[in-house]
A and B are shown apart, each in its own frame.
Chain A
Amino acid sequence: MDWQGQKLAEQLMQILLLIAVVVAFVVGYTTASFRTMMLIYAGGVVLTSLITVPNWPLFNRHPLKWLDPSEAEKHPKPQAVVVSSKKKFSKKLVSVLKIIVSLISLNQMTTFCY
């Protein structure tokens, strides 16, 4: 069952059961028969389960389109560079330090000019 089929099955289930409830109650109340109400509702539950529980073709009309395996081979997944977080952090730190150092030297250079 595909995604849309699942959604459809759930909505169908709820709507059919609610219809069964309304029909059962109205018929039961008008015929003044509790038994009739229960039988209609039981019938509604059985019908709903026959419609929504098995994996009918109706629920498989939107299959997911996966890429062909050969297509995937043509475009190999880029290898993720394994970098530990500690390393990353030190790298960042180094770059920040570099910037600071360059700023300081720039400052010195300007003072020197004066």
Chain B
Amino acid sequence: MHTFGYRANALLTFAVTALAFICAIASFSDKFSNQNPSAEIQILNINRFQKKSHGNDEVSLTLDIAADLQSLFTWNTKQVFVFIAAEYETPKNALNQVSLWDAIIPTKEHAKFRIQTSNKYRFIDQGHNLRGKDFNLTLHWHVMPKTGKMFADKIVMSGYSLPDAYR
């Protein structure tokens, strides 16, 4: 501590260590927030349900998505990434996931929303298993904190089914 440089160095080292400590505590404080997100998705319309020329089924849907993800936001949350996946079982694969829609929620104010949209990404099966198929719509979310570990969770909504015939 006898020269300017030594003191500046000691201060900087201590300050950065303390900064890491605050960030760790901030990340830890997230554990005390209770999260109760809710979501509801309705299929308003099946716009198109076809077998493509190369043999894969493709569906176009209009979805009504209502979700309240405000409780995911704490003071340490940077943004939340959400996506909706159609999940179903086929003889070949126990779990098929097709992403239909996604969004990045930047603030808590945008975390309670209701939108009606057709699927953003194409709903195509690898094969032709979709006729009369029961499937789940799952809302997945990934929380990106300002400091700390990212974490993900989901809400599974079941009871959706596709028509028995192409249209």
**Residue ranges of A at the interface with B (Cβ–Cβ < 8 Å):** 1, 6-7, 9-10, 13-14, 17-18, 20-21, 24-25, 28-29, 32-34, 37, 41, 45, 48-49, 52-55
Contact = CB atoms under 8 A, between A and B. Distances in A.
B11 interface: yes
Given A6-B2, A53-B7, A25 B14 contact: no
Contacts of B75: 28-29, 32-34
Nearest to B76: A34
Nearest to A55: B4
B4 A54 contact: yes
Given A28-B75, A29-B29, A32-B75, A37 B22 contact: yes
B4 to A, nearest CB: 6
A34 B8 contact: no
Interface residues of B, number: 20
A25 B26 contact: yes
B113 interface: no
A1 B2 contact: yes
B95 to A, nearest CB: 37
Nearest to A22: B22
Contacts of B165: none
Contacts of B19: 41
B94 interface: no
7 contacts: A13-B10, A17-B11, A17-B18, A20-B18, A34-B75, A41-B19, A48-B11
A13 B14 contact: yes
Given A33-B75, A48-B15, A1 B21 contact: no
A25 B21 CA distance: 10
